[in-house]
Chain A
Amino acid sequence: MSNTPSELRYAKSHEWVKNEGDGTVTIGITDHAQELLGDLVFVDMPEVGDNVEAGSECAVVESVKAASDIYSPVSGEIIAVNEALDDAPETINDDAFGEGWIFKVKLSDAADLDGLLDAAGYDATVAEET
């Protein structure tokens, strides 16, 4: 059974995007992604004020096993990062879709959201991979 929240949008590279409705979005990695990575031990976050392009690397999560790039699914300006992850990166393992969010972006083009997957589309992507 899928536990992929239906209110979120997804990138094939396993990030989720929550539309906050005010021109900003919150971004994290999916529960499936954290499960593949294993216990997370470090998050290398972007700088607030940085501009990111959709599809570009902007953060790195490191697990006990390996480092993995996080791609921004949208273009815009980084307006916040989840500083709580500095001391508790395992929050992503415990609550990937909630407390484990990684950064927030002010959209430069709201149309970026239209190109993302819905929950069913993301689940289908995961099913293809496994």
Chain B
Amino acid sequence: MDKQTCLYEAHKSMGARLVPFGGWEMPLHYGSQKEEHHQVRRDAGMFDVSHMTVVDLEGPDACPYLRRLLANDVERLKDSGKALYSCMLNEQGGVVDDLIVYFLRDDWYRMVVNAGTTEKDLTWLKKQAEGFDLRITPRRDLAMVAVQGPNAREKALPLLPAEMRENVVALKPFNAAPGDGWFIARTGYTGEDGFEIMLPENEATGFWQALADAGVAPCGLGARDTLRLEAGMNLYGSDMDESVSPLESGLGWTVAWEPGDRDFVGRSVLEVQRKDTGKRRFVGLLLTGRGVLRNHLKVFAGESEIGEITSGGFAPTLGRSIAFARVSAAIGETCDVEIRGKRVTAQVVKAPFVRNGKACISL
């Protein structure tokens, strides 16, 4: 039986088509996935992301623990509220999960992990905590709503707790402000400006309805996926998992190599792979021929199979099909993708495809 978030009844009353996702029953769309996508690019949309898990890490060893746990370095976070995107690796350098971690105090960090990986993550977090003095607390009492789009901040601000507004207005991108039970971050998964807002479950339905009344459109997981794909953001389980390293998943930029003596989990394997010129590349593809790129389609250079699409789909902002693919290092400027037995040409491009409503690639 899939779990339901505290906004479940609100979704039903707004006409959501609900589907199973990562152990939860979540909205896929509320009518038209494509319209929801455009709404976020052009105005403002909201997503229930309460299925994701907030985890608080508190105690004197929180910082050294996270410097061992994560491939990115929390030591880079100097200002309270600052966020960092990182992979959490296993000993083989494979990705256990990708997450965002917020620095609040030397003895308090907060992270947000994926829904489908939550139980595995918590087991891993506890296992790695041996010898460190800290408390790991999953915050199941918090709901989370993402409000995204060029008008998202303006529409959401008046609906936030009054005492937080001044701090929230001043938030720079990738920073968060804690408040009484609330936690507001200027982050997202769409390539647009906006907030990700954690709040007490019993206030979530009222807030969601107030946003809807302010003209923020409810958006489902379908639009969330096409928005993040256009924005060049990876999806755990599709673009990377425990069998691949961040270096083969387009996430080399999230690995903090310096200082060289920081011994994070998976480092020794990554150090070897880092020097390997034959490691696979993670590239963006723009379909020039007809069709739609989908997950797991095979990629070819001439007659040789060189890899596969890790996530693909139709990009509503571009009116074209785009994808991420993991391919051999030898890939050139174009490749072929096999769609239903036919080879269709795709151009190799650098992600992101879209940022702040505009195409970043030439079509």
Residues of A within 8 A of B (CB): 38-39, 41-42, 44, 60, 62, 64-67, 90
Does B292 reach chain A (CB closer than 8 Å)? yes
Query: Which chain A positions have C-beta within 8 A of B32?
Result: 38-39
Query: Which chain B positions have C-beta within 8 A of A38?
Result: 28-29, 32-33, 222
Is B340 within 8 A of A41, CB to CB?
Answer: no
The 9 A-B pairs at the shortest CB distance, nearest first, are namely A39-B34, A41-B314, A62-B292, A64-B33, A42-B292, A38-B33, A64-B314, A39-B33, A39-B32
Is A62 within 8 A of B291, CB to CB?
Answer: yes
Apart from A42-B291, A42-B321, A64-B313, 7 more pairs, CB < 8 Å? A39-B33, A41-B34, A41-B292, A44-B340, A60-B340, A64-B222, A65-B33
19 A-B contacts, Cβ less than 8 Å apart? Answer: A39-B33, A39-B34, A39-B35, A41-B292, A42-B291, A42-B292, A44-B290, A44-B291, A62-B291, A62-B314, A64-B222, A64-B226, A64-B316, A65-B28, A65-B222, A66-B294, A67-B292, A67-B340, A90-B34
Residues of B within 8 A of A (CB): 28-29, 32-35, 222, 226, 290-292, 294, 313-314, 316, 321, 340
A41 to B29, CA, bound (A): 16
A38 to B37, CA, bound (A): 13
Query: Which chain B positions have C-beta within 8 A of A64?
Result: 33-34, 222, 226, 313-314, 316
A90 to B32, CA, bound (A): 11
A52 to B289, CA, bound (A): 25
A60 to B292, CA, bound (A): 11
CB distance from A33 to the nearest CB of B (A): 15
* Partner pick for A42 among B33, B222, B314, CB 8 A cutoff: B314
The listed residue with most B CB atoms (<10 A of its CB), out of A38, A66, A67, is: A38
The listed residue with most A CB atoms (<10 A of its CB), out of B222, B313, B314, is: B314
A71 to B273, CA, bound (A): 48
* A42-B290 contact, Cβ under 8 Å, with A64-B222, A64-B226, A65-B222: yes
Query: Which chain A positions have C-beta within 8 A of B340?
Result: 44, 60, 67
Query: Which chain A positions have C-beta within 8 A of B33?
Result: 38-39, 64-65
Chain B residue with the shortest CB-CB distance to A35: B17
* Partner pick for B294 among A39, A67, A90, CB 8 A cutoff: A67
